[in-house]
A = this chain, B = another copy of it.
Amino acid sequence: MGTTDTPVTAALLVIGDEILSGRTKDRNIGYIAEYLTAIGIDLSEVRVVPDIEAEIVAAVNALRARYTYVFTTGGIGPTHDDITADSVAKAFGVPIDVDPRARAMLLERIPEADLNEARLRMARIPQGAELVANKVSKAPGFWIGNVIVMAGVPTIMQAMLDEVAPKLATGRRMLSETVQANAKEGDIGGPLAAIAAAHPETSIGSYPFIAEDGRPNTNLVVRARDAEKLAAALADVQAMVTAIAQRGSR
């Protein structure tokens, strides 16, 4: 779709009881966040909801009204608890049935004799949706309106994201530079707030961490879409860090 000057936003909807119970630790949020940032899409919200149709429908409708894209993960397998496709069809108010294109994709990997009713669930696609192919398991995701439905298994989700990414509209990438402050967060909070206020078109984040030598340290992350504005704020942050280091060595 090419790059636009207006920011392109996205929400991620993670669907699955197993994430909310803690049985399965999600590995998709961080991956998708990094992936979208790298291609110029701002991940603006994430929700995790259980395998309950009304919850999925409500979340899909709230998020698709608000963001350029909504990505979902989970709930498109062959068992009774895989209700994402039906829930998304309901959210859009369209019928859903076994899609011949999806069935054909399944047959690339599954012998026809094994294509039972359970496996055919994976070919249930809301009317009007485009399929999202997947090289790993063949069972497709789909794209309807601005909602992109993907698997929950990380390797399969990643294959689907690769498939769909070239077709997405993207905005100017958020550029980012990190400066290690060599100081405690509490010692730089004052001057950093002044720098942040002086550079309103950048976003400056402060992330404390414990260094390998056991001493508290802080990463300062300056972000902006405009390279010049980023550079200007970055210069101020670096000057502040240098000033603190000189004060410390006196």
Q: Look across to chain B and name the residue whose beta carbon is closest to the beta carbon of A59.
A: B45
For A203, list chain B residues within 8 Å (CB): 17, 81
Q: Closest B residue to A196 by CB, please name it.
A: B80
A35 in the interface (beta carbon within 8 A): yes
Q: Which residues of A from 215 to 249 have beta carbons under 8 Å from B?
A: 221, 223
What 0/1 pattern do residues 7 to 25 of A give for CB contact below 8 A with B? Answer: 0000000100111111111
**B interface footprint on A126-151 (CB within 8 Å = 1, 0 otherwise):** 00000000000000000000000000
Cα of A192 to Cα of B82 in the assembled complex, Å: 12
Are A204 and B81 neighbours in the complex by a CB distance under 8 Å?
A: yes
Set of chain B residues within 8 Å of A77, measured between Cβ atoms: 185, 206, 208
Interface of A (DSSP majority class) = mixed
Chain A residue total in the interface (Cβ 8 A)? 66
* Protomer copies: 2
Answer yes or no: A53 CB below 8 A from chain B CBs: no
Stretch among A88-96, A97-105, A115-123, A161-169 lining the B interface = A115-123
Which residues in B have their C-beta under 8 angstroms from that of A189? 78-80, 116-119, 121
- Nearest to A119 among chain B residues (CB) is B186
For A19, give the chain B residue with the smallest CB separation.
Answer: B33
Which residues of B are found within 8 Å of A30, using beta-carbon distances? 19, 22, 25-26
A174 at the interface (CB under 8 A from B): yes
A54 within 8 A of B: no
Chain B residue with Cβ nearest A82: B206
Encoded as 1 (CB less than 8 Å from any B CB) or 0, chain A from 24 to 67 comes to 11100111111111000011111111110001000000000000
